[in-house]
C-alpha cells in the first residue's frame, strides 16, 4: 500500500498542471499514468498535428507574396521527421524529468478507483493499493469514437493520422469537425488525394457558418473533395484498400441520390471523442462508466459526497482543448492546495505558494476568482489550424440566440485592412464580433484567415475583461498590422 496526500490519475497536460499546483502548499502528490507522460496532446494530437500543418502554411504564405523565388514545395520525409522531433519521438523522458524536478511522484500503471480515496494501480511493478489522504483528481482525457460501420476495417483515428510513417495515396476523412479539417488540410498538403465525408450540411458546425464555408471553399480549391450530407453505411478492407459505401442525403427537392463506393488506401474516422471514464472504477463511487465526469466550477465531482473527488480536462466533457483543460487544472490545483493547506507532510516552500492561495480565500470564492473556472462558460477560445485558420472565443450568433442575449453582429473583410494587403495582396479573411446590446461589451468574436490564431487573444482579453466598447476604442492597433481590423470593427459598431 502506498499513501499520498493527493493522487492525480492521468499525466496529460491537464494532470501535470493539477499535480504541480496542488503540491504548492506542501501536499505530497502522486501522478499516475498508463502510457506516456504528457498525454494525447504531446504525442498524438496538438503538437504533431501542428508540426504537420505548419510547412503548408509557410509555403502558402511564401507563394502569396510576389517576388519570392525558389519556393518549390514540401519535402514530405523532412516534414514527417520534424513531426517526429516535435512529438519527442514518442519518448517521455523529458516530461518524466520535469515531473521529478517538480517534486511529484510518478506511478506507471492503469489506475481504477476501488472506493472513497482508494485506487488500485496495475503497472509494470505489479498491482499496488494507493490511498489518497486528501483528494483524488481524475484527468484521464478522452479517446476517439469509432462508429460501428468501421469496426472491421482498422480505420485510422487521430492517433494514426498524427503518427503515420507514410502518406497514403488516397485518404477518406469521415467527419466535419476540428480533427477532420486539420487532418484533411495536412494530408492534402503532403500529397494525398483526400475526400472528406461530412454527415451534416457544413464543416465546423460549432463555429459561425461563414467559417466552415470559407474552409470548405479553400479545401475544394486545393483539390480536396468535400461531400456533405454523406453517411458511410458499410466499410470493408479488401487487401490494401478500404471500400466505403456512401449514402447521400439529397438536397431539398432533389429526391434520393444513389449510393456510391469510395475506394481509398486509408480511412480516418474523425467523428468525435468520448471521455475516458469507462475503465476507471467510477462505478465504485456511484458514477456511470463511459459518461463525462460532471464537475462544478471548482472542478469538484458532482454526486460524490465527502469533497475528496475532483476532475479536469477532456474526461469532464466540459473542455475539449489543452488550453482550457490546463486552465481548469490551475483552478482545481489551487482549490486543492487551499482546501487541504496544512495537511501535507512535506515542508512548504513559501516561494512556491501562489499569492492568495489560502483556505479562507477559497471558502469565500466566487465567479472570476482564481478558485472558479468561470471562463469555461463565458469565454472559451478555440482555434482550428486549417488553411484558412478559424479562431473564435465566447458565444456564436446561434448560441447567443439560444441564450436570449440580444447582440449586434459586426463584420469586416480582413483583406480590406492595409496590413493584410502587405501580408498577401489577395488576402482573404473575415472578422466578426458580437456586441451585447444591453451591456455594450463583446461577448463573442470569430476570425477566419491566414494566421488569425495569433489575433484571437486580443478578443479573449476583451470578452473576459468585459471591456466597454467606449474604452476598447482607445486600444489602438498598430499600422500596418492585420490587427487594424479591430479599428474597422469598432467603426462599423458606430465608434
Ligand atoms: C488530433 C487532435 C489535435 C488536437 N489539437 C489541439 C490543439 O491544437 N490545441 C488544443 O488546445 N487542443 C487540441 N486537441 C485537444 C487536446 O489534445 C485535448 O483537449 C487534451 O489532450 C486533453 O488533455 P487531458 O490531460 O485532459 O487528456 P490526455 O492528454 O488524453 O491525457 C490523459 C492521460 O491519462 C492517462 N490515463 C487515462 N486513463 C488512465 C487510467 N485509468 N490510469 C492511468 N492513466 C490513465 C492517459 O494515458 C493519458 O496520458 C487536439 C485533439 C486531437 C485529437
Ligand atoms: N485545434 C484544436 O484545438 C483541436 C484540434 C483537434 C481536435 N480538437 C478537439 O478534439 C475534439 C474532437 O475533435 P473531432 O473533430 O473528433 O470532434 P468534433 O466533435 O469537433 O467533430 C466530430 C464531427 O463528426 C461528425 N460525426 C459524428 N458521428 C458521426 C458518424 N457516425 N458519421 C459521420 N460523422 C459523424 C459530427 O457531426 C462532427 O461534425 C474536439 O472537441 C476539439 O475541440 C481540438
Longest dimension (CA), the chain: 73
Report the distance separating Cα 382 and Cα 378, nearest Å: 13
Domain boundaries, the chain: 2-38+92-143+274-375, 148-271, 388-492
Task: State residue 125's pLDDT score.
Answer: 84
Looking at residue 70, its pLDDT comes to 86
Q: For residue range 267-294, what is the model confidence (pLDDT) as tens digits?
A: 999 999 999 999 999 999 999 999 999 9
Integer Cα distance of 475 and 458 in angstroms:
10
- For ligand 2, mutation pick of 179, 227, 390 (most atoms within 8 Å of CB): 179
Q: C-alpha distances in angstroms, 487 versus 201, 393, 407, 438?
A: 34, 18, 19, 22
Torsion region of 89: left, alpha or beta (phi above 0 gives left; psi -120 to 50 gives alpha)? left
Which of 11, 36, 39 has the most ligand 1 atoms within 8 A of CB, as the residue to mutate? 39
SS3 49: helix
What are the pocket residues of ligand 2 if the criterion is a CB atom closer than 6 Å to any ligand atom? 147, 174-180, 182, 199-200, 205, 270-273, 320-321, 382-385
Residue nearest to atom 39 of ligand 2 (CA): 176
In angstroms, the CA 10 to CA 141 distance is: 7
Residue ranges of alpha helices (H) inside 102-222 are 158-163, 178-189, 209-221
Query: Hey, whose CA ends up nearest to atom 34 of ligand 1?
Result: 10
Residues 471-489: tens digit of each pLDDT: 999 999 999 999 999 999 9
Fold for 388-492, please state it: Enolase-like; domain 1 (3.30.390)
Q: Find the 451 Cα to ligand 1 centroid distance in Å.
A: 24
To the nearest 10 degrees (0 to 180), the angle between helices 46-64 and 178-189 is: 60
Buried b (16+ CB within 10 A) or exposed e, 246-283: bebeeeeeeeeeeeeebebbbbbbbbebbbbbeebbbe
> How far does residue 335's CA lie from ligand 1's centre (Å)?
22
Residues contacting ligand 1 via CB (< 6 Å): 9-15, 32-35, 39-41, 45-46, 49-50, 110-111, 139-141, 158, 162, 179, 276, 280, 313-314, 320-323, 325
Q: All 3 cell numbers of residue 202?
A: 457544413
Beta-strand pair 225-227/230-238: unpaired
DSSP structure class, residue 425: T
Domain 2-38+92-143+274-375 has CATH 3.10.110.10: no
- pLDDT at residue 315, as a whole number: 98
Domain at 148-271: CATH architecture: 3-Layer(bba) Sandwich (3.50)
pLDDT score of 241: 97
Distance 176 CA to ligand 2 centre (A): 7
φ, ψ dihedrals at 428, nearest 5°? -125, 125
Q: Pull the grid cell for residue 233.
A: 453505411
Sign of the four-CA dihedral 95, 96, 102, 107: positive
Task: Tell me the H-state helices in 66-208.
Answer: 76-86, 93-101, 158-163, 178-189
Is 148-271 in the same CATH topology as 2-38+92-143+274-375? yes
Quick one: pLDDT at residue 370? Answer: 97
Strand 273-275 to 142-144 pairing = antiparallel
Name the CA radius of gyration of the chain, rounded.
24
Q: Predicted ipTM?
A: 0.98
Instruction: Look at residue 391 and give its three-state secondary structure.
Output: strand
Please identify, by atom number, the ligand 1 atom nearest to the C-alpha of residue 14: 25
Alpha carbons 313 and 456: distance in angstroms, whole number: 21
What is the Cα–Cα distance from 212 to 390, expressed in whole angstroms?
A: 8
Backbone region of residue 124 per phi and psi (left: phi > 0; alpha: psi in -120 to 50; beta: other values): alpha
From the CA of 66, how far away is ligand 1's center (Å)? 41
330 C-beta neighbours (distance < 10 Å), count:
18
CA 177 to ligand 1 center in whole angstroms: 17
Q: Within 13 Å, how many C-alpha atoms sit on residue 244's CB side?
A: 27
Question: Which atom of ligand 2 is found nearest the CA of 149?
Answer: 31
Question: What CA–CA distances, in Å, run from 160 to 4, 144, 240, 242, 262?
Answer: 36, 11, 16, 16, 20
Is 440 in contact with 468 (CB distance < 8 Å)? yes
335 preceded by a cis bond (ω within 30 of 0): no
- Which ligand has the shortest distance to the CA of 11? 1
Closest to 372 in 3D by CA, of 303, 301, 318, 296: 296
Best residue among 43, 274, 293, 322 to mutate for probing ligand 1, ranked by most atoms within 8 Å of CB:
322
CB 24 within 8 A of CB 322: no
CA of 180 to the centre of ligand 2 (A): 7
Annotate 309-374 with three-state secondary structure: EEECCHHHCCCCCHHHHHHHHHHHHHHHHHHCCCCCCCCCCHHHCCCCCCHHHHHCCCCCCCCCCC
The angle formed by the CA atoms of residues 45, 169 and 149, to the nearest 5 degrees, is 65
Ranges in the chain, pLDDT < 50: none
Amino acid at each position: 500500500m502506498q499513501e499520498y496526500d493527493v493522487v492525480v490519475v492521468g499525466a496529460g497536460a491537464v494532470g501535470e498542471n493539477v499535480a504541480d499546483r496542488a503540491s504548492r502548499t506542501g501536499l505530497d502528490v502522486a501522478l499516475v499514468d498508463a502510457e506516456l507522460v504528457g498525454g494525447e496532446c504531446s504525442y498524438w494530437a496538438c503538437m504533431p498535428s501542428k508540426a504537420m500543418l505548419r510547412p503548408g502554411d509557410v509555403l502558402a504564405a511564401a507563394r502569396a507574396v510576389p517576388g519570392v523565388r525558389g519556393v518549390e514545395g514540401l519535402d514530405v520525409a523532412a516534414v514527417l521527421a520534424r513531426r517526429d522531433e516535435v512529438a519527442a519521438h514518442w519518448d517521455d523522458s523529458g516530461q518524466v524529468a520535469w515531473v521529478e524536478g517538480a517534486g511529484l511522484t510518478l506511478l506507471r500503471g492503469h489506475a481504477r478507483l476501488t472506493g472513497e480515496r482508494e485506487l488500485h494501480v496495475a503497472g509494470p511493478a505489479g498491482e499496488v493499493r494507493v490511498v489518497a489522504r486528501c483528494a483524488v483528481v481524475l484527468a484521464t482525457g478522452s479517446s476517439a469514437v469509432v462508429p460501428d460501420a468501421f469496426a472491421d476495417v482498422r480505420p485510422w483515428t487521430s492517433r494514426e493520422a498524427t503518427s503515420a510513417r507514410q502518406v497514403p495515396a488516397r485518404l477518406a476523412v469521415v467527419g466535419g469537425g476540428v480533427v477532420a479539417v486539420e487532418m484533411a488540410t495536412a494530408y492534402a498538403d503532403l500529397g494525398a488525394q483526400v475526400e472528406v465525408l461530412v454527415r451534416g450540411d457544413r464543416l465546423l458546425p460549432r463555429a459561425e457558418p461563414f467559417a466552415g464555408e470559407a474552409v470548405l471553399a479553400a479545401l475544394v480549391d486545393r483539390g480536396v473533395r468535400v461531400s456533405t450530407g454523406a453517411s458511410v453505411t458499410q466499410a470493408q478492407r479488401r487487401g490494401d484498400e478500404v471500400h466505403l459505401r456512401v449514402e447521400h442525403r439529397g438536397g431539398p427537392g432533389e429526391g434520393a441520390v444513389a449510393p456510391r463506393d469510395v475506394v481509398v488506401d486509408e480511412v480516418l474516422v474523425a467523428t468525435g471523442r468520448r471521455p475516458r471514464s469507462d475503465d476507471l472504477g467510477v462505478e465504485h463511487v456511484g458514477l456511470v462508466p463511459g459518461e463525462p465526469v460532471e464537475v462544478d466550477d471548482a472542478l469538484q465531482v458532482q454526486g460524490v459526497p465527502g469533497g475528496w473527488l475532483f476532475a479536469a480536462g477532456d474526461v469532464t466533457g466540459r473542455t475539449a482543448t489543452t488550453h482550457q483543460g490546463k486552465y481548469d487544472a490551475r483552478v482545481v490545483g489551487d482549490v486543492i492546495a487551499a482546501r487541504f493547506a496544512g495537511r501535507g507532510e512535506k515542508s512548504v516552500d513559501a516561494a512556491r505558494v501562489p499569492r492568495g492561495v489560502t483556505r479562507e480565500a477559497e471558502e469565500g470564492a466566487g465567479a472570476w476568482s482564481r478558485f472558479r473556472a468561470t471562463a469555461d462558460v463565458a469565454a472559451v477560445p478555440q482555434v482550428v489550424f486549417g488553411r484558412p485558420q478559424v479562431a473564435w472565443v465566447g458565444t456564436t450568433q446561434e448560441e447567443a440566440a439560444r441564450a436570449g442575449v440580444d447582440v449586434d453582429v459586426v463584420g469586416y473583410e480582413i483583406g480590406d485592412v492595409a496590413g493584410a494587403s502587405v501580408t498577401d495582396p489577395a488576402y482573404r479573411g473575415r472578422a466578426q464580433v458580437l456586441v451585447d446590446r444591453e451591456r455594450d461589451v463583446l461577448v463573442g468574436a470569430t476570425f477566419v484567415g491566414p494566421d488569425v490564431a495569433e489575433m484571437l487573444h486580443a478578443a479573449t482579453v476583451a470578452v473576459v475583461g468585459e471591456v466597454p466598447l467606449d474604452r476598447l476604442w482607445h486600444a489602438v492597433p498598430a499600422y500596418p498590422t492585420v490587427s487594424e481590423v479591430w479599428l474597422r470593427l469598432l467603426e462599423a459598431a458606430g465608434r
